Chain A
């Protein structure tokens, strides 16, 4: 990386740390440290909500996914606006008026202490591990692509985030999120401009999209109703809506964002901001993946983006790899020729010839990945997440590379900061203040909150160092989260919407919901998004039945 890019990245990291330390003077009481004194404007909270949701792996993985698989993933976000409306009617006013610090505190007011403790424990466990993965994923990618030391990258992201979160509390997290979103928007916009300028003379954006359309990459809506298919309009509108209800309505890392708003209406408006902006933003990110695909129609893309992951296979069978490279080069030349002809004639035959040539290129890429997995003994080899960073390093001008690396780090750090802040809040309010030291004063609570932030930050960095080596750990963490989310949503539906639900029903309903999701994941091939529906439905049904039975038994 050029020294100017280093300066951009270093300036960014220094600024966010300074920002946190500067705001520490305004975070002396529990309400100011954890909830910013409920004083933040809706637009800052709204940007913080979006920044928290967009991790680095969303930014890097989604562009890579669009490059290889097209824009189908956009359907995942179709249920988000509807989920936001439901939360504006239910969760936001209920939490805000109850003046709670954590979502789980509300469950004690509505049900009992053990339901609060159980749900908060699940949150701490799943998020504590999850935040390690959020740090690990971009750290591995940046260390491979840029040649940075992996541990140094993990601790640069993890500890700098911990410092500003620890000193500045939620106020620093939110205002840093705002600036990080500006960096992300700026990075993405410049990226689009540079890619478009890189198109050959005479090839317009419309021409490029015509090429992408011919390969099926612009297929955005799939009307098939197939429970095993991950992304369809139905899984987006229904199953993903349940996921967003659980994430934005029951996960402390998001609930805490809108609890910092000045009023119920400002909290609602912050969620409405996501409702309107999330789909266009995600469309832009996916479009960048497609634009990279178009860019590479007229310049040869690397056979493998993750060269480091392929090195063992190349060393083991160099002749086989070079033969694959040669065949790949020939297929790329054929694809470019058919693309040029299709754009010139716009005929059906040439369109089909181009689509066939592109399929041959994709098949050769797949053959190469299979070869790397087999010959290199690298079963978890992944190329998708390396497309965007490698493209940036190889094709972006000096300075812009630094800005986009800073944007990737900003995406990671904004998510990590919100997670650490919410983990510290739940640890402090649901355990320290509730069980360990109920008589603690404001000063003690803030001190404990700061220490909890530091401990969770160090814990996340340690988990991240293991997650880089154990591919399956990432899967375990994600699966654990999906087991829990729908069931937690079910408990909150019982709390907000069903006055007949009782504490015993909520507690055991949650357990039944988690068991139901485990059974669904073990004995069916239902796609994971539907686990949220299964968990919620079983928790609500069991919760109601147990509540009713326990009333009759009394």
Chain B
């Protein structure tokens, strides 16, 4: 087994999956908002 690999899933796995999904949505949202900012002020 690789050093440092967990033997089994931890109880917090599903919570972290939701956090990771939130980060992905956040990135898309950041791009949309930046694009909207540029467009609104005529960039």
Contacts and interface: CB of A to CB of B under 8 A. Distances in A.
Interface of A: 70, 74, 78, 81-82, 84-85, 88-89, 93-98, 106, 109-110, 209-210, 212-214, 216-221, 233, 264-265, 268, 272, 275-276, 279, 283, 351, 495-496, 499
Question: Lowest 6 CB-CB distances: which A-B pairs, in order?
Answer: A213-B41, A98-B4, A218-B43, A94-B4, A213-B42, A109-B3
A95 B4 contact: yes
Interface string B1-14: 01111100010100
Interface residues of B, number: 24
B18 to A, nearest CB: 12
Interface of B: 2-6, 10, 12, 16, 19-20, 23-24, 26-27, 30-31, 34-35, 37-38, 40-43
Contacts of B5: 93-94, 97
Contacts, number: 85
Contacts of A212: 41
Given A213-B38, A216-B43, A220-B34, 7 more contacts: A88-B20, A93-B4, A109-B4, A213-B41, A220-B38, A220-B43, A499-B2
Nearest to A75: B34
Contacts of B40: 213
B31 A265 contact: no
6 contacts: A74-B34, A81-B24, A82-B24, A97-B5, A97-B6, A218-B38
Contacts of B34: 74, 220-221, 283
Contact of A106 (B4, B16, B35, B43): B4
A110 B2 contact: yes
Contacts of A214: 42
Contacts of B6: 93, 97
B17 to A, nearest CB: 10
A204 B16 CA distance: 43
A275 B10 CA distance: 22
A219 B38 CA distance: 5
B23 A272 contact: yes
Nearest to A495: B2
Given A81-B26, A219-B38, A220-B37, A110 B31 contact: no
Contact of A218 (B10, B24, B27, B37): B37
B32 to A, nearest CB: 9
A540 to B, nearest CB: 16
B2 to A, nearest CB: 6
B23 A85 contact: yes
A78 B37 CA distance: 15
Given A85-B24, A220-B34, A98 B3 contact: yes
